[in-house]
Amino acid sequence: MEPLPHLQYAVQFDKPSYKTGDRVVVTLTITNTGDADTVVHGREPHGPDHEPGFVYLDYESWGDLYLHDGDGVPLAAGASYTHELRGTVVDLDAAEAVFDVTLLADKHHTWDARATAPLERAEGALAGTTYLDRNGNRVVDAGEPVAGAKVTVSHPYGEFTRVAVSDAQGRYDFPGLAPVRHFIRVDALDGWEFEGPGVDIAEGETAEVDLAGVRPFKESLTAQVEFTMEEYQPGDTAEVLVTLANTGDVRLAGITAHCNGAGTDEHLVDIQWGDLAYGGPGIAIQPGRTYRARVPGTVPEAARRHGVATVACAFGLESSTNNPIARTSRACPARRVRSPSSRTRTATATARSTRTSASAGST
Ligand SMILES: [Ca+2]
């Protein structure tokens, strides 16, 4: 008979029991008890909806073992391999945390590796006020709470979302959330747009988060980006001058940079945005004031192929598609070839692209 690999597994949880929202660390020992060498892979069970108590594994913890983009782990006949997988259990109602993965030998013999541990319910809550921040101070003032705002919370485990609508006092309420990080989204209301922060839900506590509606930033924020040199080469550090002006009569807050929405490969990379960094608190600009910054970025290799390096960024709320957009470009010509016996340039590499524009378009 043809020799075949055969996998056996053992699962060791890092704790005897878990609570909703806990991190779960599993030590998985795989032994090839067959008589043929093999390469082992693993993956989650198929489908977006997993069974109650499912432990959602961190992508990073799969490493080489992962079927979809890992090289697999060679396992000789009789040999063992130990791998640590880390994840989160988010179920509020299940009685057990369920570790469940599919193991594969040579990518086609499969085994279901499953183990359970006791799970205890733990929950927190989220509540707050939706308001139209008419004076831009990010505080709920008299007359600012707004009813009828549709608030959606989600977390990254499975397909979880829940919706609440704010009441006459602008209050919204989400009882019974798993104690994990959630994301908040509020639909635009009468042309006002809302910040969509992330919030950590803690066991036994109600996170109080007021959600500010603001006018679309392109109504009162102008944005300009400029290069400081006439041309660049791939690998150069290019400095970009950023000028943001508040032309309105309300303070603008939470401004961050969101670049290369078109996904072009001649766009600067590794831009050091500092206070404007995506995901950070952003900057605020008072009415009538201008903010200026110099930010360095790297000219990508592809810029030479396109003959140009670009920057194209929207500035404003992360959650908005109504931010002002600024773009500019500079030539990134093929390297000049100089004749050693002549001062004459042999390449016509002096073409310049100095387009700079600031527009209030939408992405
Ligand atoms: Ca206010």
Nearest one of 350, 363, 119, 77 to 217, comparing CA atoms: 363
CA of 257 to the centre of ligand 1 (A): 24
Q: How far is the CA of 190 from the centre of ligand 1 (A)?
A: 17
Does domain 217-359 bear CATH number 3.40.50.300?
A: no
Q: Could you tell me the pTM of the whole model?
A: 0.80
CA of 164 to the centre of ligand 1 (A): 22
pLDDT in tens, 249-272: 999 999 999 999 889 999 999 999
How many A from CA of 272 to the centre of ligand 1? 31
Separation of CA 142 and ligand 1 centre (Å): 8
CA 290 vs. chain centroid, Å, equals 29
- Cα–ligand 1 centroid distance for 214 (angstroms): 10
Question: Domain 7-120 carries which CATH code?
Answer: 2.60.40.10
Q: Is 313:358 a contact under the CB 8 Å cutoff?
A: no
Residue 133 pLDDT: 95
pLDDT of residue 3: 86
Q: Cα separation of 3 and 359, whole Å?
A: 68
Give the contacts of 6 (CB within 8 A, at least 6 positions apart). 32, 33, 34, 105, 109
From ligand 1's centre to the CA of 154, what distance in Å? 26
Query: Separation of 127 CA from ligand 1 center, angstroms?
Result: 18
Distance 285 CA to ligand 1 centre (A): 15
Q: Are the CB atoms for 82 and 28 separated by under 8 Å?
A: yes
Distance set, CA 75 to CA 35, 79, 85, 104 (Å): 11, 6, 18, 12
Distance (angstroms) between ligand 1 centre and the Cα of 77 equals 68
Ligand 1 center from residue 215 Cα (angstroms): 13
Q: Is 218 helix (H, G, I), strand (E, B) or coil?
A: helix
The rounded Å distance from CA 287 to ligand 1 centre is: 15
Compute, in angstroms, the gap from residue 213 CA to the centroid of ligand 1. Answer: 10
Strands 124-132 and 211-214: parallel
What's the CA-to-centroid distance between 252 and ligand 1, angstroms? Answer: 12
Q: How many whole angstroms from 129 Cα to the centroid of ligand 1?
A: 12
**Closest by alpha carbon to 37, among 83, 80, 74?**
74
> Assign residue 9 a region: left if phi > 0, alpha if psi is -120 to 50, beta otherwise?
beta
Domains 7-120 and 217-359 fall in the same CATH topology:
yes
Closest CA to 323 of 282, 267, 363, 283: 363
Ligand 1 centroid, distance to 176 Cα (angstroms): 29
Give residue 132 CA to ligand 1 midpoint distance, Å: 7
Domain ranges of the chain: 7-120, 124-214, 217-359
* Burial of residue 122, with CB atoms counted within 10 A of its CB: 0-12 exposed, 13-18 middle, 19 or more buried: middle
The rounded Å distance from CA 124 to ligand 1 centre is 27
Distance from the alpha carbon of residue 13 to the mean position of ligand 1, in angstroms? 49
CA of 134 to the centre of ligand 1 (A): 6
What type of residue is 104? L
Structure tokens at 130: 């939706």
Q: How far is the CA of 217 from the centre of ligand 1 (A)?
A: 16
pLDDT at 350: 40
Domain spanning 124-214: CATH 3.30.930.10: no
**Phi, psi (deg, nearest 5) at residue 352:** -120, 145
Distance 275 CA to ligand 1 centre (A): 23
Which of 361, 360, 358, 224 shows the shortest CA–CA distance to 293?
224
CA separation for the pair 168, 181 (Å, rounded) = 28
- What is the C-alpha to C-alpha distance for residues 101 and 164, in angstroms, rounded to an integer? 35
> Which residues of the chain are under the pLDDT cut of 50?
339, 341-363
CA of 189 to the centre of ligand 1 (A): 17
Q: How far is the CA of 136 from the centre of ligand 1 (A)?
A: 6
- Give the per-residue pLDDT at 336: 59
Compute the distance from residue 162 Cα to the ligand 1 centre, in Å.
27
